Structures are given as structure tokens and as C-alpha cells.
Amino acid sequence: MKIMFKESGLPSAAPEDTTFRIRFTELSAGYTGHPVLHQLSAAIPALATTALVGPNGSGKSTLLGVLAGVIRPTAGELHHTGSRPPAFVPQRGAVGDALPLTVRQTVEMGRWGERGPWRRLTRRDRATVDAVMDRMGIADLAARQLGDLSGGQRQRALIAQGLAQESDLLLLDEPTTGLDPEARERIATLLTELVADGVTVVHATHDLDAARAADACLLLREGRLAGQGRPGQVLTPSTLTRFWQPA
Ligand SMILES: Nc1ncnc2c1ncn2[C@@H]1O[C@H](COP(=O)(O)OP(=O)(O)OP(=O)(O)O)[C@@H](O)[C@H]1O
């Protein structure tokens, strides 16, 4: 198993093709005694939005975990062309509602990778935090408790925490699940704007509208790649009927 980055203190030797941000070949991964992903080969285009879609349990979150570097592949190769580690925004439920954190403290945690936990933030750190809170439209919520926010506000705070890491690769696990249509639309617009700002976005989603709005789509089924390409090519009516039959 090989994991390769292109620059700065990380193992090099990634191919020079800059049209993709991540490429993986024959990638397998899973949990102890439970293989989940089987020999996936695909490329994630740079400066684009890629949707990971598939039925429950098909391996979307596991693949995101592998791309984020928190799950180690058991076989295959993974090439990153970016120079910074990815920023990973886990599923909403994975972040405790009861944590007594303000929105600003939540976003500041995105600087911990640079600064170390609980260290005093530098002026530059604070400027970064201010900028990403503005970007996500949550500056006026800075002093509010995370647990008191609406789902959409909370999701924007978590995305801001990811952006505070100043990565060029944002990995999001179901960023619009459980949100009302207006909040979904707002997140979708923000993600599109981030791509225009130079960020590559990968999100796992059950939201077919969000998947259709992506530039590229990877369709998973039982841990295998069942399709990749533009959403219009992958999410055809027959595929949707086969994969998402009503219960
Ligand atoms: N921490 C874990 N330990 C063991 N098995 C796990 C773990 N997390 C997930 N799994 C299993 O791995 C498989 C794939 O799960 P995963 O969460 O990646 O799928 P998913 O496509 O994201 O599903 P969903 O759409 O329901 O979120 C499932 O069988 C799941 O039960």
C-alpha cells in the first residue's frame, strides 16, 4: 500500500498530472475483521466538486476516511497532488451537540493542526478564523453556543472549521443531511463558491440534487465502484431505480 503526496515534507513521487487532486488505484480498506472497500480505482478532479453516492453502507464514509488519512488502506495506491493535508468535516452527528463550545471556539479548533491544542492563536490565526467565518456567513454567530444553532448554521460552522485549516481539499460527510431546502441550497452555493476560490470539494451525500449539481460523481455499491463520471452519466434513471428501490 502506498500513499503519496507531492510536496513539502511529505513523501513525493506523485504523477505530474495536475488535473486530479487525488487518484487511487486498486484501493481496499475497512475495519478490523470487516473489509469494506474493494479494489477501487478512480480520480478526484482538482478544483471541482465530486459527490460520493451510493446506498446506506456502500462505503462512502469509509472512502472519505481513507481520503482524509484517518483510515489506512489495506491495499492499493493513493496519490495526492496537493501540498497540504485535507480538511475533513465529519457527519453532523459525529460532533457532540452537548459540547460547551462557542461558534468561534469551534472554528478556532481548525487552527490546532498548525498551533497545537489550547495554544494561544497568533494574529494570523485570528485573521484566518475571521475570514472563514465571514466566508461562511457566521461572523454574527461567533459567541453563540454550537449546540444552540440551527442545523444549517451548525453545518456552516463545521465547514468554517475545515476551511480554517487552509487546505485546498475539503472532505465533507453528508453536509446537507437533515437540513431544510433553504439551508441545503445555501450550503450548495457556498461549496460552489469555494471551488471558484481554489478548493477541491469531495462530499458524501444522499441528496440527489446535491449529487447532480456536482462536477463529478463516484457511485459506490457494496464497497465497489459502480460508476464514475459526470453526474448525468452516472445517475441515470435506470441506475437510480436499481440502486434506490423504494422499500
Ligand atoms: N467503525 C466501524 N467499525 C466497523 N465497521 C464499520 C465502521 N464504520 C462503518 N462500518 C461498516 O462499514 C460499512 C460501510 O459503512 P460506511 O459508513 O462507510 O457506509 P456509507 O455508504 O457511508 O453509509 P451511510 O450512507 O449509511 O452513511 C458498513 O457495513 C458499516 O456497518
* Per-residue pLDDT reduced to its tens digit, 179-225: 889 889 989 899 999 999 999 999 999 988 899 999 999 999 999 99
Minimum CA distance residue for ligand 1 atom 28: 57
Minimum CA distance residue for ligand 1 atom 11: 57
Ligand 1 pocket, 59 CB below 6 A? Answer: yes
Out of 58, 91, 172, mutate this one to test ligand 1's pocket (max ligand atoms within 8 Å of CB): namely 58
Nearest CA-CA partner of 149 in 131, 163, 137: 137
Residues 172, 204: Cα–Cα separation, whole Å: 6
Q: Is the ipTM of this complex over 0.85?
A: yes
Residues 200, 172: Cα–Cα separation, whole Å: 11
Residues 3, 29: Cα–Cα separation, whole Å: 13
Minimum CA distance residue for ligand 1 atom 29: 57
Give the atom of ligand 1 at the shortest distance from the alpha carbon of 52.
21
Per-residue pLDDT, averaged over 71-100, amounts to 83
56 contact partners, CB below 8 Å, separation of at least 6: none
- At 89, give phi and psi (nearest 5°): -110, 105
pTM of the model: 0.89
Residues 115, 154: Cα–Cα separation, whole Å: 24
For residue 50, the CA-to-ligand 1 centroid distance in Å is 20
